[in-house]
Structure 1
Amino acid sequence: MRIAFVSNVVHPFVKGGAQKRIHEIGTRLAADGHDITVYGRQFWDGPGEITHEGLTLRAVAPAAGLYTDDRRSITEAIDFAARLARPLHRRLAADDHDLVVASVFPYFPVLASKLATLGTDTPLVTTWHEVWRDYWESYLGGAAPFGKVIEYVTARLPQQPIAVSGITADRLAGIGPSRESIDVVPNGIDVDRIQSAPLPESHGHDSYDVLFAGRLIEDKNVALLLDAFDAVADQTDATLGIIGDGPEATRLQRQARRLNHADRISFLGFLDEYDRVLGHMRAARVFASPSTREGFGITCAEAMAADCTVIAAEHPESAASEVLSNAGVLVRPEQSQLTEALKQALAGERPVMDPKKRAATYDWDSVATKAEIVYNKAIY
């Protein structure tokens, strides 16, 4: 197959889950003999087209800022989409690619990708990481109807949709394609890399009994975790490490300073080295992520591979229950429930299923094989 991936940001020059997925799937397909091109912004030095780890990276726009006031920039997405459509169409008209795979979100590059396929027989495959629907009201406030309309229009495009989880597929079916037409191909993890990551002590850093890793935003419910941990800390000498940054960081740090056991809570900020995050997971006994909005929940899968007891929130807008199955602990996002789960996990209680065995099902090799099947189906 000759596959064109569309992503305004490209791994490893910009870190993020969607672009990492493209890289991991793309490099494996390239190693199997497929021709893989990624269309994106030029965040790398040198010429606009380079080869990196078997992938052709083709810039259609210069590097640009991705966020405005902690929200993804709409103008950036529109600019990238406008710059993408014509060069991608030229390549498709010349029969350079058998299919186009575009990540959602942002939405405008998906619309541009569909526009580029017009007049050709090239199918469009979309990868849906989340479906926001009513969440637009929290994200954009008064401008929420604009976001909802764009999401709805994108969902209604002729496409072969892929969702990263069953819950995302169900939410997508609520605004667009039939559920039967949506394939589920989960996000993946590098199990070997996780299980061989250097422990924090090897770098002279502390390790923590309980760990959280993720963007510090309201839906992650880190405030709830802080209160639950403080209650548990009355009965144990456990420590809590918070990895990540975001708009809630300052408020959460103020909250932590007011707690009885503030001296056992550490905010590590954003860690540039991915292996440092993995090392902290390996060293932790418990990974707690009471997030109520997860299109997949990659950190939960990573923590299972690191042999943590994973505690996550059971919520209709979170795929954590799907990811964990019975290899983790699910609780309602309430302090009493989370406190009790932390207490039991720190006392040594383990899930019914071996977390490492469950995590192995999300290894990138398995995910790439599933993606290849769907891509082939879209062509033939």
Structure 2
Amino acid sequence: MRIVFVSNVVYPFVTGGAEKRIYEIATRLASSGHEITIYGRHFWDGPEEMEYDGMTLRAVSPEREIYDGERRSISEALEFSKDLVVPLRRHIDEHDIVVASVFPFFPVLSSKLATVLTDTPLITTWHEVWRSYWDGYLGTLAPFGKAIEHITARTPQYPIAVSGITADRLAEIGPPRENIAVVPNGIDAAQIQRVSPATDGFDILFAGRLISDKNVDILLEAFDRVASRFDATLGIIGDGPESETLRAKATNLTHSDRVTFLGFLDEYEDVLAHMHAADIFASPSTREGFGITYAEAMAADCTVIAADHPESAASEVIGEGGYLASPTVEGVADALERALNGERPAQAPTERAKKFDWDNVAKRAETVYQRTL
């Protein structure tokens, strides 16, 4: 197959979950003999079109900052979408399928415009469906975000969701559920397992963005209830708008001396090293379109504790390789106590993690891509 991926940002020149997914799937498909082209912004050094890791990178728009403060830049997304249409249309006969990442929506609409009156299928990858989350993200502009999300969902496409819960949410505003394929996000299990444990690790670890949905405040209180009985320590990796509030809350805990905030770690392998050192990975987040840290922690042989919540795909990821807890202080404390007592999940976490290895994910994606033809 001759496959196009559309993404304004391109891994590894810009690092993020959506662009890493494209890179991991695309490089494996290229190794299998497929012809891969990525249309994006010119974030790399070198000519606008060049070969890289078996793929063709084609810049259709110049490098530009993609964030405006804490939020993705709307003007950036509009500019990239405008710049995409003509080059993609000009080369459309050279491609069999077009795969576009949904967020920030506008490139999907441009990709559809470029494929109109052709037989080239448009495949979309939905990492999340925001719905009411737009209210907190855009404030007074939330209706605009909701409208674009609905328009994108109803655009003719072959949708892929990264989890069943994301597929269910998408079906509420767009295509029928039976028309939505599920291909999860992935991990490099071998890379994770090669990392040595951190020498200054913790018994319990959290890693993620410090925002209210992650419920780190609940984790702190739950940990405080069980810490003394097990002589346990807690490490918090990450940064975000809740950072100062959470640090202040931690100082008021009875066992504040057992909690360490490490901030954002620049090196991915440093995060993995702390996962290897920990016995438990706890993240009672109530909003997860997938939850890649759960898969990473299982590959590092952590007992994972996640929230049992209708807005979280955690149950799909951890299966029987971890524990689900009510996102309350009591629920998380009970789960921590079970794990600290040495109780292990029904399925070995490392075995569960194999399901999400990029080799397996790429094969599932390839099957869906072929089906659209």
TM-score tier after normalising by the smaller chain length: over 0.9
1:121 counterpart residue number: 119
State the distance in 1 between where 2:170 and 2:152 align.
10
Q: Answer with 82-91 or 172-181: which moved more.
A: 82-91
1:30 corresponds to which residue?
A: 30
Residue of structure 1 in register with 2:62 after alignment: 62
User: Residues 201-220 of structure 1 correspond to what in structure 2 (within 5 A)?
Assistant: 201=199, 206-220=200-214
Alignment of 1:108 onto 2:106: yes
CA contact (8 A) 1:314 1:330 kept: yes
Q: Hey, what does 1:305 align to over in structure 2?
A: 299
* Equivalent residue runs for 1:1-380 within 5 Å: 1-92=1-92, 95-201=93-199, 206-379=200-373
Q: CA deviation at 1:50?
A: 2.3
Deviations 1:179-228, CA, capped at 9 Å, x for gaps:
11111111111111111112222xxxx11111111111111111111111
The Cα shift of 1:366 comes to: 0.6
Q: Is the 8 A contact 1:198 1:276 kept in 2?
A: no
Deviation at 1:68, TM superposition (A): 2.0
Structure 1 distance, partners of 2:16, 2:326, is 28
Amino acid at match of 1:177: P
Scaled by the length of structure 1, the TM-score of the pair is 0.96
1:236-266 Cα offsets, whole Å, 9 max, x none, are 2211111112221222122222222222212
CA positional deviation for 1:340: 1.3
The amino acid that maps onto 1:191 is A
SS of the residue aligned with 1:341?
helix
CA displacement 1:17-41 (0-9 Å, x = unmatched): 1111101100000000101111111
The 10-residue stretch of structure 1 (125-134 or 258-267) with the greater mean CA deviation from structure 2: 258-267
Letter in 2 for 1:375: Y
Q: Distance in 1 between matches of 2:75 and 2:277?
A: 42
Q: Secondary structure at the match of 2:229?
A: coil
Give SS of 1:216's match.
coil
Separation in 2 of the partners of 1:232 and 1:15?
A: 37
- Structure 1 residues 103-150: Cα deviation after superposition (integer angstroms, max 9, x where no partner): 111101111111111232211000000111111112112211111110
1:80 Cα deviation after fit? 1.2
Q: After TM superposition, where is structure 1 displaced by more than 3 Å over at least 4 residues in a row?
A: none
SS in 1 for 2:94: coil
Pick which of 292-301 and 49-58 moved more. Answer: 49-58
Number of equivalences: 373
The residue type equivalent to 2:116 in the other structure is L
Alignment partner of 2:282: what SS? strand
Q: Do the aligned residues in 2 keep the contact of 1:70 with 1:247 (CA within 8 Å)?
A: no
Question: Alpha-carbon deviation of 1:229?
Answer: 1.2
Write out per-residue CA displacement over residues 27-85 of structure 1, whole angstroms, 9 at most, x where no aligned residue. 00000010111111122222222222112111111222222231222121111111111
| Separation in 2, partners of 1:183, 1:336 | 36
Equivalent AA in structure 2 for residue 347 of structure 1: N
What is the distance in 2 between the residues matched to 1:80 and 1:198? 41
Q: What SS class does the counterpart of residue 361 from structure 1 fall into?
A: helix
Equivalent pair of 1:10/1:19 in contact (CA under 8 Å): yes
Deviates more, 1:157-166 or 1:246-255: 246-255
Query: d(CA) in 2 for partners of 1:231 and 1:69?
Result: 37
The two structures, once aligned, show a CA RMSD in angstroms of: 1.1
Q: Within 1, Cα distance between the matches of 2:49 and 2:213?
A: 38
Q: TM-score, normalised by structure 2?
A: 0.98
What percent identity do the matched residue pairs reach? Answer: 65
**SS of 2:305 mapped into structure 1:** strand
Tell me, in whole angstroms, the C-alpha distance in 1 between the residues paired with 2:364 and 2:48: 31
Q: Structure 1 stretches of 5 or more lacking a match?
A: none
3-state SS of the aligned residue for 1:133?
coil
